[in-house]
Structure 1
Amino acid sequence: MLEATIVTELENLAGKENVLIGKVDLVAYSYDATADMPKQTPDVVVLPTSAEMVRDIVHLARRNRIAIYPRGAGTNLSGGTVPLKKGIVLSFQKMNKIVEIDPANLTAVVQPGVVIAALNAAVAPYGLIYPPDPGTVATATMGGSAAENSGGLRGLKYGVTKNYIMGMEVVLANGDKVRFGGKTVKNVTAYDFSNLFVGSEGTLGIITELTAKLIPAPKYRRIMMGVFKTLADAGNAVAGIIAAQVIPATLEIMDRMTIRAVEDFAHIGLPVDAEALLLIEVDGMAEEVVRAEAEATMQVVRDNNGDLKAAETDQERDQLWTARRNALPALASLNNTVVLEDATVPRSRITDMLVACETIGKKYNLTLGTFGHAGDGNLHPTILCDKRNPDEIHRVHEAVDEIFETALQFGGTLSGEHGIGMAKMKYLGDELGQSGLDLMRTIKKALDPDSILNPGKMVPLREN
């Protein structure tokens, strides 16, 4: 527990109204959206309102060796914001200003607490979009998504967060405030600091402002649903669409378990007898190009034994994407614990990974549904279980181990968008090797020698 004098100093720095020490408040910041993770109440929650305030808080924390846990909306899925060593949670909900929208340079400058959906609403009148759209787009913040390098449904065509962060302001562990990058399209000055801090999960510095790239909103789009009788056909269709040189804006998959869960949850009219669905959207600035890509896509679906349904109205389109965004809450409603993983493989192995997930679920006698961004090989095997059943939880852990082992065997990676946090640290050596782990530790030590920034996350401690 922090000394009362430290709390008083924080109140003097941030204002008493921005310092939370009540039990209910502390419990609210003791966990994030990750299931089956330890929970820990912080000593105090501080809601900074400026970069200068963040800098002052970091100086105070460093002098007193107090851990700091930067936090956005807490929607991350890797245990990344749990305050393992108590200390200070810095919640950026009050730093939520859109500082500037610059249509001439296709950029926006935002504070970290800006919600992604709010940014898109603000730039829409200019005919622009900010493409990254994680499943929690209505609540996820720009700072949190940058720290996690979030992806989303449009990742196949438009990329992930790191492709849209052009510059930032960061407060380092020593209290220095630094800026790098900016509005220029080309910038190769010095190290690529933006890409170093994007995806660093608050372990190297605290993001206090972001310069984001915007793009013109596509004028035309076509949305389709492919219905398949086997997982293999659905997976082969994904590979076939890419092989046809069509890059959809979104190419999402749902397996039978997910389809039935979503239909029971949302009553959208999904075909519950299907083994798999593909939800596909092609878009662009030229109507004839979009039409040609849609026709090529539909032909691939037919060639792989799929039935087609095209969305003819905005209502039908919204229903299809509502179905996909409801995948996680629908599955989560089936039991008291949902373990959502993030295994990503090369597109050429998507069929193998889909079948492997189904096989692993059966092997460990678990309720497992798979959905995800099939077009970029990013799948979300989701296990529904009872946290009060030790035997079942043990089988869940064994299944997760095998899912990641399989993904790496297929030339994949541990995370396509959810990050490492504390959930996946034990697997890092399997992908990076000892030299990779040592490099991570070297960078962490150089920028945060006292390990006060989000300790216990992303960077495994050296084994003695």
Structure 2
Amino acid sequence: MGPFLRDSAQVPEDADPPKPAAVVIPRTTEHVATSVKFAYDHELPVSIWAAGTGLAGGALPYEGGLVIAMHQMNSILEVDADARLATVQAGVIVQDLDSAVRKYGLFYAPDPASSARATIGGTIATNAGGLRCIAYGTTADHVAALTVVLADGSVISTGSRTIKNATGLNLTQLFVGSEGTLGIITKATVWLTPIPQGTPETFLASFDSIDDAGRAVVSMVKSAAELEVLEMLDATVTQWVEEDNHAGLAIPQAALIIGMAVGENAARSVDIACECAEHAGASEVRRQPGDGLMAVRKLSLPALQKRGVWVQGDTGVPVPRLPELIAKIEDIAEEEQHQVRIVAHVGDGNLHPMIEVVDNDWDTANRVTDRITAAAIELDGVISGEHGIGIFKHHELPMQFDEATLAAQHAIKKALDPKGILSPGRAI
């Protein structure tokens, strides 16, 4: 097994993988309902597989269980450009939907790093994030309605095609981010966004101090700059990207911030962001038209994978507390004498600390991961910003939720899945 990134705990390489009793590849909601009803009647654990891009282990099979593989439910059923809505089966690839609607002058705003492979259903089930969250929010903000198969095989519809809807409980958002524990999403109606006009503008800002970089981010976010993307790489990751790709980057002493603005005010927004960077002490600020500099951010994970095995963290904090969390991560790395690299969606406060796994020592890597998560919680943060909980972060839930809050979530699970067959022991 080669180098890779993974959230939290890792299954040993020599362990036998779980062997499900069967794999079902449905093409309709009715197929899913029939399969789930069979599993319910026979009390078989069910896992839902789509593209395998998840990072928290939520789609792994159960020994003797049923796998429902959604990749053949991949039809775009309708594009209603006037209403700015698209209705798709759950197995549609995110990038395919985005490409299909651009001829109408629209795009699908959620943009996880895995958008070329990830499915609409999977990204809804995990409430996926990505690079554009600072401007457009997470996947949850773009879901209008769902068709969901419940644990007993019954089928429900949630939400509506209207902008306003104050009718009944908001079941749509209940299923967004539920990671397959409450029901199986088979169809989704999602909101589309007009493509911004004009040429994108991008910038890079180098910093000799992580603290200065954090202060620059806070300043940018509270300013009038309308940024679509605001990312950060630490100096070592930046150096690795430059070594591999010869992108012409000046290697910073501490951190590199990458940002982009789109639309008619793009140039002015980048002006403001660059001013914020300079006022915070940037050692170098560079800008250029177009979105070419964004490739630097997307090259960071391949650079990391080339150089080792890593646990990929996924904590989130309020943006003003980013400098504190980064400082705590540095302290933890020093105390543990362990390498931790940082890439981050700093514009929305979502950090991906990359904890190195040395000589297959997962215990140490997981301990460092848990300490970083605890530090984020102390700063009013969350365990997961965009990857979900799955099995790999399940043990961390008591860090964020008290017993009463966990009990409320378990009560909802019990009501919708009384036999506990849907993704048992995961997410909640």
When normalised by structure 2's length, the TM-score is 0.94
- In the alignment, structure 1 residue 151 sits paired with structure 2 residue 129: yes
Which of 71, 84, 102 matches 2:80?
Answer: 102
Which of 340, 343, 354 matches 1:371?
Answer: 343
Alpha-carbon distance, 1:32 to partner = 10
Which of 157, 171, 177 matches 2:155?
Answer: 177
- In the alignment, structure 1 residue 293 sits paired with structure 2 residue 269: yes
Look up the SS of the partner of 2:402 in the other structure.
Answer: helix
Alpha-carbon distance, 1:453 to partner = 0.6
Matching residue's letter, 2:188: L
Matching residue's letter, 1:61: A
Note if contact 1:429-1:436 (Cα within 8 Å) is conserved in structure 2. Answer: no
1:411 and 1:366 mapped to 2: Cα distance? 25
2:370 and 2:249 mapped to 1: Cα distance? 32
Note if contact 2:5-2:305 (Cα within 8 Å) is conserved in structure 1. Answer: no
1:264 and 1:419 mapped to 2: Cα distance? 32
Note if contact 1:130-1:213 (Cα within 8 Å) is conserved in structure 2. Answer: yes
1:359 and 1:263 mapped to 2: Cα distance? 27
Which of 221, 228, 248 matches 1:249?
Answer: 228
Alpha-carbon distance, 1:36 to partner = 3.9
Alpha-carbon distance, 1:384 to partner = 2.2
Alpha-carbon distance, 1:266 to partner = 2.8
Look up the SS of the partner of 1:203 in the other structure.
Answer: coil
Partner residue of 2:285? 308
Look up the SS of the partner of 1:188 in the other structure.
Answer: coil
Which of 382, 385, 390 matches 1:421?
Answer: 390
Matching residue's letter, 1:331: L
Alpha-carbon distance, 1:326 to partner = 1.9
- In the alignment, structure 1 residue 334 sits paired with structure 2 residue 334: no
2:9 and 2:399 mapped to 1: Cα distance? 22
Note if contact 1:364-1:396 (Cα within 8 Å) is conserved in structure 2. Answer: no
Partner residue of 1:186? 164
Alignment of 1:349-428 (within 5 A): 349-386=321-358, 388-390=359-361, 393-428=362-397
Alpha-carbon distance, 1:211 to partner = 0.2
Which of 247, 256, 265 matches 1:277?
Answer: 256
Note if contact 2:91-2:121 (Cα within 8 Å) is conserved in structure 1. Answer: yes
Percent sequence identity is 34
Over 3 Å counting, the alpha-carbon distance change for 1:85 and 1:189 in structure 2 is farther
Partner residue of 1:131? 109
Matching residue's letter, 2:303: A
- Report Cα offsets for 1:360-409 as digits up to 9, x if no partner: 222222221101110111000011223x443xx32212211110110011
1:457 and 1:394 mapped to 2: Cα distance? 20
Alpha-carbon distance, 1:290 to partner = 2.5
Partner residue of 1:236? 215
- Report Cα offsets for 1:323-380 as digits up to 9, x if no partner: 2112222112211x22001011111111111222222222222221101110111000
Look up the SS of the partner of 2:367 in the other structure.
Answer: helix
- Report Cα offsets for 1:63-122 as digits up to 9, x if no partner: 111111112211111111112444111111100010011100000001111111101100
Which of 226, 239, 242 matches 1:263?
Answer: 242
Which of 65, 83, 93 matches 2:61?
Answer: 83
Note if contact 1:83-1:454 (Cα within 8 Å) is conserved in structure 2. Answer: no
Note if contact 1:135-1:325 (Cα within 8 Å) is conserved in structure 2. Answer: yes
RMSD of aligned residue pairs (Cα, Å): 1.7
Over 3 Å counting, the alpha-carbon distance change for 1:268 and 1:45 in structure 2 is farther
1:79 and 1:34 mapped to 2: Cα distance? 8
Look up the SS of the partner of 1:180 in the other structure.
Answer: strand
Q: Which moved more, 1:33-42 or 1:360-369?
A: 33-42
Matching residue's letter, 1:37: Q
1:95 and 1:35 mapped to 2: Cα distance? 30
Alpha-carbon distance, 1:282 to partner = 1.4
1:171 and 1:52 mapped to 2: Cα distance? 9
Q: Which moved more, 1:176-185 or 1:161-170?
A: 176-185
Matching residue's letter, 1:91: A
Alpha-carbon distance, 1:273 to partner = 4.0
Note if contact 1:332-1:384 (Cα within 8 Å) is conserved in structure 2. Answer: no
Note if contact 1:85-1:455 (Cα within 8 Å) is conserved in structure 2. Answer: no
Alpha-carbon distance, 1:263 to partner = 2.0
Matching residue's letter, 1:395: T
Query: Which 5+ residue runs of structure 1 have no aligned equivalent?
Result: 1-30, 460-464
Q: May I ask how many residue pairs the two structures share in their alignment?
A: 418
Matching residue's letter, 1:342: D
User: Greater RCO between the two (CA within 8 Å, min separation 6)?
Assistant: 2
Matching residue's letter, 1:353: L
Note if contact 2:106-2:195 (Cα within 8 Å) is conserved in structure 1. Answer: yes
Matching residue's letter, 2:269: E
Look up the SS of the partner of 1:382 in the other structure.
Answer: strand
Partner residue of 2:416? 447
- In the alignment, structure 1 residue 56 sits paired with structure 2 residue 28: no
Note if contact 1:32-1:79 (Cα within 8 Å) is conserved in structure 2. Answer: no
Q: Which moved more, 1:360-369 or 1:140-149?
A: 360-369
Matching residue's letter, 1:268: A
- Report Cα offsets for 1:306-331 as digits up to 9, x if no partner: 1211123x4xx33x222211222211
